[in-house]
Amino acid sequence: MRIRLLSTISLLVAWGTSPLFGQQVLITNVRLAGDNVVLSYNLSDEKIERRYALHLYTSGDNYIQPLQLVSGDIGIDISVGDNKEVIWNAKEELGDDYSGDLALELKGTVYIPFIYLDGFDDYKVFKRSKPYDVTWSGGRGDNVLSFELYKNDRKIKVFEERPNVGNSTIVIGTDVKPGRGYRLKISDSRNKDEVIFTDYFRVARRIPLVLKIGALVGVGTLVTVLSQSDKQEPIIEAPPKPNR
C-alpha cells in the first residue's frame, strides 16, 4: 500500500447546511505511522459544554462516505479541547494493493442526542443473565432502535431491534466476559446519524466466582463427610476366655 497525503480540510457545519461561527476545528498534524494515518486536531468553542459529531472523509469517493476503521477522538459526543487524535487503519480499509493520492476532510456538526436516557447513570454494574430496565424519552414514533454492546470501541454483541416505545429490557448473557469498559450503543436502524452511547459500566457474574468456589468446596466436604459416615465401624471381637 502506498499513500501520498495531498491536503486536509476541516469544517464545522450546523446540521450540514452552513458553517458555524465562534467554533473551529483545526487540523494540526497528519502523519503516516506504519499502516495507519494519524491525524491531530484542536476543537474550540465558546461554549465548552457543547458536544460534536465528527467524521473523517477522503477524496477517494469524493468525500461521500465517512471512513469506518477509525478510532480515537472521532464519532459522536466529542468534547471541546486541544491535542485530539484520530487513528485511521488505512491499509485495512483501502486494501494492500492501494496506491495513490488522497486528501482528507474532517467534518463535524453540533451533536444533539436523538433520545435521552432516564436514570441509566444508576447502572454502574450489569450482572449477567439479570434483566435491566432501560427507559428513555424523545425520538420519533417510527424509530426502530438497534441496541449493541461495545467494550471500549469494539462491538461485542447485537441485541434484537426494538420499537421506540420509551422502554425496554436488556439481558447480558453469560457469553459476555466479565470486566470493565462496556457500554451500549443505541441507534436508529435506518438512520446512522441518530445514535447515542451510554456511560461505561462493568459486567459482572451474577454469582461471584468466590461464592461458586466456596459452594463447590462445601459440597465436596459434605460428600467426603457422608462417605466417611457410611463406612461401617470395624467389628471388635470379644477377647478369648482365659483357660483354667
For the stretch 51-73, pLDDT in tens is 999 999 998 899 999 999 999 99
Residues 169 and 101 in one domain: no
Q: Is residue 78 part of a domain?
A: yes
Residues 122 and 199 in one domain: yes
Residues 75-86 have pLDDT tens digits of 999 999 999 999
Residues 7-20 have pLDDT tens digits of 565 555 543 344 55
Cell of 204: 459482572
DSSP per-residue string spanning 149-182: EEETTEEEEEPPPEESSSEEEEE--TTSPPEEEE
Q: If residue 215 lies in a helix (H) or strand (E), which one and from where to where? A: helix 209-230
Residues 50 and 95 in one domain: yes
Residues 101 and 159 in one domain: no
CATH of the domain at 178: 2.60.40.1930
Domain count, the chain: 2
Q: Is residue 243 part of a domain?
A: no
| Listed residues 110, 140, 162: the one ending a domain | 110
Which residues lie below 8 Å from residue 140, measured CB to CB, with a gap of 6+? 164
pTM: 0.69
Q: Is residue 93 part of a domain?
A: yes
- 185: domain range? 115-204
Residues 124-175 have pLDDT tens digits of 999 999 999 999 999 998 999 999 999 988 999 999 999 999 999 999 999 9
Rg (CA), the chain: 29
Residues 125 and 178 in one domain: yes
CA gap 203, 180 in Å, rounded: 6
Any idea of the CA torsion for 161, 163, 168, 171, to the nearest 10 degrees?
Answer: -10
| Listed residues 76, 110, 144: the one ending a domain | 110
Residues 73 and 136 in one domain: no
Q: Residue 218 — pLDDT band, cuts 50, 70, 90?
A: low
CATH of the domain at 97: 2.60.40
Phi, psi of 230 (to 5 degrees): -80, -15
Which residues lie below 8 Å from residue 93, measured CB to CB, with a gap of 6+? 67, 68, 69
Looking at per-residue pLDDT, the higher value among 115 and 220 belongs to 115
CA gap 78, 94 in Å, rounded: 26
Order of strands across the sheet that contains 18-19: 18-19, 2-14, 99-110, 51-58, 75-79
Determine contact, residues 59/11, Cβ cutoff 8 Å.
no
Instruction: Please work out, in degrees rounded to the nearest 5, the angle formed at the alpha carbon of residue 167 by the alpha carbons of 165 and 168.
Output: 110
Count of other CB atoms within 10 angstroms of residue 90: 23
pLDDT score of 223: 55
Could you tell me which of 36, 37, 42, 30 has the C-alpha nearest to residue 73? 42
CA gap 13, 30 in Å, rounded: 22
Which residues lie below 8 Å from residue 101, measured CB to CB, with a gap of 6+? 3, 4, 5, 6, 59
Average pLDDT of the segment spanning 37-42:
93
